[in-house]
Amino acid sequence: MSITNFPAGQGSASAGIPVTKVTMPALAEMKRQGKPISALTAYDYSSSRLADEAGIDLLLVGDSLAMVVLGHENTLAVTVDEMLHHTRAVRRAVRRALVVSDMPFGSYHGTVAEGLANAVRFVKEAGAEAVKIEGPRMGLVRALTEAEIPVVGHLGLTPQSLHRMGGYRVQARTAETAEKLKHDALALAEAGAGALVLEGVPREVAGAITAGLPIPTIGIGAGPECDGQILVYHDLLGLTFAPAAKFVRRYADAGSLVREAIEHYREDVEHRLFPSDLESYHLPQAARTESETESEKAEAPGKA
Ligand code: KIV
* Residue range 40-74, pLDDT digits in tens: 999 999 999 999 999 999 999 999 999 999 999 99
Residue 80 DSSP SS3:
helix
Question: Of residues 199, 263, 270, 279, which has the active-site annotation?
Answer: 199
Does 197 contact ligand 1 (Cβ within 6 A)? yes
> Could you tell me the distance, in angstroms and rounded to a whole number, from the CA of residue 63 to the centre of ligand 1?
6
For residue 64, count CB atoms less than 10 angstroms from its CB and return exposed for 0-12, middle for 13-18, buried for 19 or more.
Answer: buried
What's the rounded Cα separation, in Å, for the pair 259 and 257? 6
Does 51 contact ligand 1 (Cβ within 6 A)? no
pLDDT of residue 12: 47
| Contact (CB, 8 A) for 41 and 100 | no
> Could you tell me the distance, in angstroms and rounded to a whole number, from the CA of residue 41 to the centre of ligand 1?
7
The reply to whether omega before 159 is within 30° of 0 (cis) is: no
- Checking if the pLDDT of 301 tops 80, the result is no
In the chain, the amino acid numbered 123 is V
| Contact (CB, 8 A) for 153 and 196 | yes
pLDDT of residue 298: 76
Residue 105 DSSP SS3:
coil
Residue 111 DSSP SS3:
coil
The residues that bridge with 58 in the sheet, in sequence order, are: 39, 98
Closest alpha carbon to 42 in 107, 92, 104: 92
Most distant pair of Cα atoms in the chain: their distance? 101
List all residues 6 or more positions away from 266 whose beta carbon is below 8 Å from its beta carbon: none
pLDDT of residue 299: 75
Does 230 contact ligand 1 (Cβ within 6 A)? yes
- Checking if the pLDDT of 15 tops 90, the result is no
What's the rounded Cα separation, in Å, for the pair 66 and 136? 23
Closest ligand 1 atom, CA of 64? 1
**What average pLDDT does the segment 6-28 reach?**
72
| Contact (CB, 8 A) for 96 and 20 | yes
pLDDT of residue 303: 54
Share the mean pLDDT of the chain: 94
| Contact (CB, 8 A) for 196 and 215 | yes
In the chain, the amino acid numbered 229 is Q
What's the rounded Cα separation, in Å, for the pair 86 and 94? 13
Q: Which residue has the higher pLDDT, 2 or 30?
A: 30
- State yes or no: is 267 an active-site residue: no
What's the rounded Cα separation, in Å, for the pair 46 and 43? 9
